[in-house]
Structure 1
Amino acid sequence: MEGPSTSKQLPNTSADEGVLTVDVTNNVLVDSITDLPVNLIRPDLIMSTDGSAENEEDSTKLNLAYENLYEVPRTIVERFADYVKYLDLSHNKITNLDALVHFKHLTSLIADDNPITENCLLPPLPKLQLLWLNHCKIASLYPWVGKLKESCPNLNYLCLMGNPAAPSDFNGGTFYESLQYRLFVISQFPSLNHLDDRKVTYDQRQEAQRLYKRPLLDRLVRSRNTGIGQLVHTPVTWTSVQNKLSTFWGKDRGSDRNLLI
């Protein structure tokens, strides 16, 4: 007979193991991964914490892919945040990355295939150089990219392929939309060397600076008689960006090949 203060754990299965515990006393559900004791963390999640790894690089990597996570567990944060530099959260159900604020040394973050939207803002990660958010749910670049720039100003590698806000041949985007997306993102990150599946070229950076340089945007924001003033204050799709910019520059909206370069 169990005592009144004991917790009853659901039967273990390969799918449910370590996922849920029922607290009978308080009649609440508890995320047992979050509260998982350190000695029960799966060994393959721990690369090394005592210098026993084959090399220093392995000791700073943490792989949490395919773990059916809705958030970064507190126990994981407490155990690994002080030294992990490479973190893989791909193929989970994460929508909030606030817990990463504790990963002060993080330089690489892989979070592909999560239901992350433009409402998910990364905490300050000044050391982050590589960020993959492929096949997430990011539907609008503005103001999300600006917030990303503030949080991660030193990105060298950024990959957003498969998101609605990153038009390409793979998701039905036109050449015009893909080019505008690419130039806009490049304009926000001076240190960016690689965007999606291609390197950032000198010509692309020059054109991005010419097209999206700050004085021009400020001038457009102050102009209340143009549609572009509303554009920079509200989340939009790149289709509407194309239409508004085409109107401002006197371009034909119906032509995808009338590039702003």
Structure 2
Amino acid sequence: MDQNITPANMLESTDDNTEEPTKLTLAYEKLYEIPKAVVTRFSNHIQYLDISHNKITNLDALVHFIHLTSLIADDNPITENCCLPPMPKLEILWLNRCKIASIYPWVGKLRESCPNLTYLSLMGNPAAPSYFNGGTFYEYLQYRLFVISHFPSLTHLDDRRVTEDQRTESERLYKRPLLERIVNPKTGSIPQLLIKSVTWSSVHNKLSTILGKERREQRNLFI
């Protein structure tokens, strides 16, 4: 795509009385980055941006989209090394079928950048266990509850609504005392589980021992 040209059919205004468009789609444009010309021309008023089905790996340019509330970035080679810039107004984020291989500590950084997310979808990423990518039911539950625990405003994760039971269980499992129990009591050191990127199979092995007794004594996890 020519970085100096934005086809008219890529722009859409959500209000007939608004001169500037509020929606912009750059999907299927074989882009490796968001064009600088687009940033300069549209970042001050775009609220909905679709950059799906491209080759984008760096989202730093989004810092200029100060009114962005919805971002669709499916099918890009985005990994857990890609951090979104501060976007406090962002409410909807789709990162389906990207290359995110590890949720921790990436999801914590995402929360710092986008604390007000209400819709988040990470389906099809290696870090989002499901039956479709070989994940177990337990891994799926831990992934889901872990992500929910980071976003108080989240109402939908992936293809399912966040329920009150899930919210309650996520707070019980991932509050501070749990992390303190994971720390080695003899040395006070934090194990590799918490200081480097890991897969949910290793999280399962660590947490299953700690939570086993509690899971037998308390009610089952909900989905």
The two structures share one fold, judged by TM-score above 0.5: yes
Residue 216 (str. 1) matches residue 183 (str. 2): no
Aligned to 1:182: 144
Aligned to 2:92: 130
Aligned to 1:256: none
Aligned to 1:23: none
Q: How far apart, CA to CA, are the structure 2 residues paired with 1:46 and 1:194?
A: 27
RMSD: 2.4
**What does 1:200-215 correspond to in 2, within 5 Å?**
200-215=162-177
Which structure has the larger Rg over C-alpha atoms? 1
Q: How far apart, CA to CA, are the structure 1 residues paired with 2:148 and 2:120?
A: 10
Unpaired runs of 5+ residues, structure 1, are: 1-16, 19-32, 252-258
Q: CA 1:224–1:191 in 2, change beyond 3 Å: closer, same or farther?
A: farther
Q: CA 1:224–1:246 in 2, change beyond 3 Å: closer, same or farther?
A: farther
SS of alignment partner, residue 29 of structure 2: coil
Q: CA 1:219–1:130 in 2, change beyond 3 Å: closer, same or farther?
A: same
Shift of 1:222: 6.1
Aligned to 2:196: 234
Aligned to 1:147: 109
Residue 166 (str. 1) matches residue 131 (str. 2): no
What stretches of structure 1 move > 6 A for 4+ residues in a row?
none
Unpaired runs of 5+ residues, structure 2, are: 214-219
Shift of 1:94: 0.2
Structure having the larger proportion of residues in helix: 2
Count, aligned residues: 216
Shift of 1:42: 1.6
SS of alignment partner, residue 59 of structure 1: coil
Aligned to 2:79: 117
Q: How far apart, CA to CA, are the structure 2 residues paired with 1:227 and 1:171?
A: 33
Larger RCO, structures 1/2 (Cα 8 Å, 6+ apart): 2
SS of alignment partner, residue 21 of structure 2: helix
Q: CA 1:230–1:170 in 2, change beyond 3 Å: closer, same or farther?
A: same
Shift of 1:68: 0.4
**What does 1:36-185 correspond to in 2, within 5 Å?**
36=4, 40-47=5-12, 54=16, 56=18, 59-185=21-147
Q: How far apart, CA to CA, are the structure 2 residues paired with 1:176 and 1:57?
A: 50
Identity of aligned residues (%): 68
